[in-house]
Structure 1
Amino acid sequence: MAACLQTLQDQGVIKRTCVLCCHPCEIECFGSCNHPVCYKCMTKLRILCQDNYCPVCRSCLEKVVYTDRVQPFEELDINSMHQCKTLPGLYFVSSESLYLCQQLLVHRCQICITKPTFKNFNNFLGHMKDTHKRYFCYLCIKHLKLFTHERRPYSKPDLNIHLKRGDSDNKSYKGHPVCKFCKKHYFDDDDLYLHLHNDHFSCHFCPADEYYDNYESLRAHFKSNHFLCEYDACADEKFVNAFSTDIDYKAHLALKHKHLLNRAEERRIRHIDIDLTYSRSNDSRTTGKNRRGDTYDR
């Protein structure tokens, strides 16, 4: 059955399935490696994502053919195919396949009856805002590689809901996370983590998911939860004057600031509290009897 199906696919009787979107390849696109992808996925990869590698074998494809019939790349006469200056490296067997590819990249208003098109995406955004009072999520625009017709317009209230809680028809999406310090939304948890890591502060003694708005907040945390040296030049230091244990803190004082300490403080830093807990064992090897026959622990 599988061999018969493959034969029919090779003969072009039935369409092969795109390995990316799992839809039938009405127009197949492939390069020298002969791994077919549908024209929508290939156009998105080449034009929107600027990715010139085969999604199957990761070979770099300098030339990609758009065709409606299965045929090995080596047997194709690329020089006789249709081309477009705005679509470098793409070759089209027919003018219809070129037209379909170009239509994917058109910025068309789906609300207007006349379905007008716009020169660029910014003009399209201005039209949607001024004419229809519809807006697009700026985070989705920045991070999601989508065709214009795939993007979702929102009213202002719906856009706020999208940012905070997500879309009602997409239960897997819970909104864009927000920084509790800046009150600004970020695309996903990874994007938020990069922001927190680069623009805020975390304690290198505590778990990594705890952040602080600025160093003054972190300094207060060091002082209340750890050990912070505020003697001499250490008062102006950052990070290096904080210690996780009392032993480390006292060792630092003895090494760097002993000349600033009085006798009571010197005695205090030489004193180390050790908390040891012993458990009594009932093992027969640790018990014995005294002269009166009473048992005792050795």
Structure 2
Amino acid sequence: MSCIVCTNPIKIRAVTPCKHDTCHVCAFRTRALYHKKQCLVCRTENDRVLFADSESQTVAVSDDKYAIDFTSQDAKKQTLDLLLNKCPRCSTVFTTFKQLSEHVRTQHDRVFCNICANQKNQFVCELKLYNSRQLHQHQVKGDQNGFKGHPQCRFCTGKRFYSDDELFVHMRDKHEKCHICDQIDATKPQYFRNYDHLASHFHEAHYVCNVQSCLDQKFVVFRDELDLRAHQIKEHGSILGGDRKLPAFGGKLTIEKKKPDEPKDSYETKKLRLDERARHYLNYDQAKVDEFQKLVGEFGKNGNERAVLAKLRQLFVESSAEDLGLLLLELKELFPKNSSPHKFLETELKSHNREKLLDQQFPALSTAPASRPVGPWGQNQPTTGLRKAPPPKSKPVVNRGTSSNVRLTYLNNSQPKPQAPALDDQLFPKLPSVQKPKPPRVNPVNTSIGQWGQGLQERREESDFEIRKGKKGKQVLFRMGVNRN
């Protein structure tokens, strides 16, 4: 006969007043570990239960702590031994489960899963032993059908739980949940490590009331802009300038979010930046650097800005205009905006930038002297007798009168262009012409009459070649020493 709950063979039968029999392990687990007295089949409350290892139901011994009657002393011993901390390998009994865990780790190189031991209501003899690799596989992926491992908290490093229910309780108590996202889609809850991370999510994804009292209260956030507007009209009507009416449907709500102020550099940071730039421009000359720092300290005292600025220009005379402009810009940042030195330097920078722009748009013309003509042997030639450049053409004059008989002179392009006068041959002689030598023939032509002195003159008079016209054009065929007569 097998147990209706665990399907294991029944060795000791648990008999209840409701006549539903199970094995002693399942019945004792309900009373000892779950602390319940219900029937495992019909959920009926039973004050006492009988554990029988035979067909007889005569009570031989009882246990008042768990309200169990036994038909034999052996049945009682086997039942109560389920509570002992006994080693599964060597059957050594220990007082506590901690001592047993240390024993199996040091003596047998095995470990229990502490999550299962603490959360799963099982007897010690039912717990499994694992090595390190098997334990990792058990906790991460699982080792049974339907068991996918113990879930882990993504915020607490290395912390796992028995099931999703325990993980949910942990996330609810130790971390923060976005209630707006839960209203939008309850199947995908959004959790965050703490309220600071949740507040960042509120500002990025939802609509937050930026009034300081609501920020201090926390969780004052809304799903859409209309809800935020209604809240501000109801709770902070003075912020809207007395307009306590919502715009008509279709109107556009414009609520500007206050941007956090950007951090500003301190006076010490600006001063260090200015000193480092000055050292670089002065090639790290300590004497000049000390003079520069002295002039900066005197700048703006008793209205001496212009005099000190002239000394600074003289000190940085070797620097470019761009470098000097950057130096003055950083010097201006040392003074408050409404102070006299700040306004003076701002005016000087505008003038400096205007001069720089004019130099870029209108560069200065070249002042190099005109070159004189050079003769054939390098001597400077007199300018007399040279061809003069033609005079510049006069601009056309447009008659703005109303007469139609006036003809515009600049439209007449039929006049011949003036020809340049001829150059003087004495001043500009022609270069001597160079005749290139002809290369000699490799094999000289033999003009003799031949070895035998006859027949060659007659062959010269004959036609030694003929011209034929084919597909590729004209072809020339030569006869080499063949007489066809």
Q: TM-score, normalised by structure 1?
A: 0.73
Q: Structure 1 vs Structure 2: percent identity of aligned residues?
A: 30
Native 8 Å contact 2:49 2:68 kept in 1: yes
Give the superposition deviation at 1:268.
11
Paired with 1:152 and 1:222, the residues of 2 have a C-alpha distance of 46
Native 8 Å contact 2:237 2:244 kept in 1: no
Note the alpha carbon deviations across 1:85-120, whole angstroms, 9 max, x for none: 6x53111112232232133333222323xx322233
Greater RCO (CA < 8 Å, at least 6 residues apart): 1
* Aligned residue number for residue 90 of structure 1: 68
Q: Helix, strand or coil for the counterpart of 2:45?
A: coil
Note the alpha carbon deviations across 1:237-281, whole angstroms, 9 max, x for none: 212x21111111111222222323469xx6997476469xxxxxx
Paired with 1:271 and 1:226, the residues of 2 have a C-alpha distance of 23
1:249 to 205, 208, 228: 228
Is the aligned partner of 1:174 residue 2:148? Answer: yes
Is the aligned partner of 1:192 residue 2:167? Answer: yes
* Aligned residue number for residue 12 of structure 1: none
For structure 1, the 5+ residue unaligned runs are 1-14, 276-298
Paired with 2:93 and 2:227, the residues of 1 have a C-alpha distance of 68
Larger radius of gyration: 2
* Aligned residue number for residue 350 of structure 2: none
Letter in 1 for 2:70: F
Within 5 Å, give how 1:42-81 maps onto structure 2.
42-70=27-55, 76-78=57-59, 81=60
Summarize the Cα distance change of 1:160–1:235 in structure 2 as closer, same or farther, 3 Å threshold. Answer: same
Within 5 Å, give how 1:98-177 maps onto structure 2.
98-112=76-90, 115-167=91-143, 170-177=144-151
Summarize the Cα distance change of 1:215–1:166 in structure 2 as closer, same or farther, 3 Å threshold. Answer: same
Native 8 Å contact 1:29 1:42 kept in 2: yes
Native 8 Å contact 1:250 1:270 kept in 2: no
Moved runs in structure 1, 4+ residues, more than 4 A? 266-269, 271-275
Native 8 Å contact 1:227 1:245 kept in 2: yes
Note the alpha carbon deviations across 1:185-209, whole angstroms, 9 max, x for none: 1111111111112221222221342
For structure 2, the 5+ residue unaligned runs are 253-485
Give the stretch that moved more between structures: 139-148 or 202-211.
202-211
Is the aligned partner of 1:32 residue 2:11? Answer: no
Paired with 1:131 and 1:151, the residues of 2 have a C-alpha distance of 17
RMSD of aligned C-alpha atoms?
2.6
Letter in 2 for 1:220: S
Q: Helix, strand or coil for the counterpart of 1:83?
A: strand
Aligned length: 246
Summarize the Cα distance change of 1:272–1:179 in structure 2 as closer, same or farther, 3 Å threshold. Answer: farther
